[in-house]
A and B are shown apart, each in its own frame.
Chain A
C-alpha cells in the first residue's frame, strides 16, 4: 500500500505542476486545492489504469474513489484485491 501511495503522490506532484506553496496532505481534496481539473482526472485515470493494471469503470469515477490520495490508494487496493 505504501508503494501505491508513493507512486500516486509522485505522479500527482510531477504531472500536475503542484505549486511549491501547496502542501498536499494525503486527505486533501485535489479538486479543492485546484490541483486536478476535469482534464487532470482523465490523466489520473489513465495513470491508474496503466500503472496498476486495473480498469476504472464509469460508475467508479466518483470523488469517493479519486478525490484524495487516501481515496485513490484505497480504491486501487480494492480493485487489485478484487
Chain B
C-alpha cells in the first residue's frame, strides 16, 4: 500500500503551535482553548497541540457522550484529559437530545421503515458507491436484539429526517463548547482533518463551527503520524475512525467517503498535486476508470458541500464589515 510522503512532525508541530498561540492571543484575543474530546484521533491531536501551544492550564476539555456513543469514547477522552493534565468535565447530552426531539424524530422513521424496530435495536446509515461506480444511495442498516441484520433503502424525506435528527448531536455539543468558552473567555477549537474539511464532512453550526481549526491542513494519515510524534496513548493512536454518531458502529468510509481513510488520503493528495487518474490507479491498485471516479466523487462533494463553508450570504454587501 502506497503512503503519503512523511512530514517532519517536529517542525510541523512547532509551526502549528506557534500559529495557534498567535491566533488565540492576537487575533481571537481569548485566554485559552476549549476542546471537545471524543477519544478519536483528530480531537486528541488538537487537544495535545493546544496544550503544547498554550500550556495545560489554558486548555479546557469536554467529554460529551450521548445514548448512542460507544462506551469507549468517554473512556478514551478521560484517558487523554488525564494524560495531558487538563481540566475537563463530562456532560452526558442524552437528556438534552431527548428533550429537543432528536431520538423521537429518528426513531419515528426507523419504526416506520423497519418492522419491529424498538428497544435494544442498533442502527447506522451506510452508502455503497464509488467502488462499483454507483450513485451513492443511503441505506439504513439495523441489528435487532437477536443480532439479525436488516437493511432498507430510505426515501429522501426519511433520510433527511434521520440526518436532521442526528445533527442535533453535533449542534448540542457545540452549544456546550461555547458555553464553556464564554464562561472562561476561551476560544473553541474545531477538529476536522483535511479530508473532512475539504469534503464537507461536518455539520454546519455543529462540529463545523469553531474559532480555530488547527489540523484542517493535515491528511488523516498525517494526523496519526502527529499523534505518535506527540506521544499520545497507544489506545488512541491505534483506533479506527468511526463517526460515533449512530448506535451501530459506523466507519467514516461507509457513511461518507466511500474509501477507507489511507486510500482517501492518497486520492485527495494525488488530486491536489495535479497527478493523473492513471498515477492514482497505480498507487491504489485499481483501474484508471475507478481512479477517475474517485476524483469525480471528490470534486462532486466539494461542489455540493461548498455552502457548508460559507458565512451567511448577504443580498447587498456591507463593506464596512470584513
Interface set of A (CB-CB < 8 Å, partner B): 31, 34, 37-43, 45-46, 58-59, 61-63, 66
Which single residue of chain A is at the shortest CB-CB distance from B139? A58
Q: How many pairs of residues, A versus B, come closer than 8 Å at their CB atoms?
A: 43
A38-B135 in contact (CB<8A): yes
A-B contact pairs, 30 of them (CB 8 A): A31-B300, A34-B304, A37-B300, A37-B304, A38-B127, A38-B135, A38-B136, A38-B137, A38-B138, A38-B304, A40-B156, A41-B135, A41-B136, A41-B137, A42-B155, A42-B156, A42-B159, A43-B156, A45-B137, A46-B155, A58-B128, A58-B134, A58-B137, A58-B153, A59-B132, A61-B134, A61-B135, A61-B137, A62-B133, A63-B133
Given contacts A34-B303, A37-B304, contact A46 B137 (CB under 8 A): no
**B100 close to A (CB within 8 Å):** no
Given contacts A31-B300, A34-B303, A46-B155, contact A62 B160 (CB under 8 A): no
**B184 close to A (CB within 8 Å):** no
Secondary structure of the B contact surface, majority rule: mixed
Q: Determine the chain B residues whose CB is within 8 A of the CB of A38 once the complex forms.
A: 127, 135-138, 304
Instruction: List residues 107-131 of chain B with CB under 8 A from any CB of chain A.
Output: 127-128
B156-A46 in contact (CB<8A): yes
Q: Determine the chain B residues whose CB is within 8 A of the CB of A41 once the complex forms.
A: 135-137
Interface set of B (CB-CB < 8 Å, partner A): 127-128, 132-138, 153-156, 159-160, 300, 303-304
Bound-state Cα–Cα, A27 to B156, Å: 25
Of all A-B residue pairs in the complex, the 8 with the closest CB atoms, nearest first, are A42-B156, A43-B156, A37-B304, A38-B136, A61-B135, A41-B135, A61-B134, A61-B137
Min distance, Cβ B142 to any Cβ of chain A, angstroms = 17
Among B128, B132, B133, B156, the most chain A Cβ lie within 10 Å of the Cβ of B156
Q: Determine the chain A residues whose CB is within 8 A of the CB of B138 once the complex forms.
A: 38, 42
Min distance, Cβ B261 to any Cβ of chain A, angstroms = 20
Given contact pairs A40-B156, A62-B133, enumerate 9 new A-B contacts (beta carbons under 8 Å).
Answer: A38-B304, A39-B156, A39-B159, A39-B160, A42-B154, A42-B156, A43-B156, A46-B155, A62-B134
Q: Determine the chain A residues whose CB is within 8 A of the CB of B154 once the complex forms.
A: 42
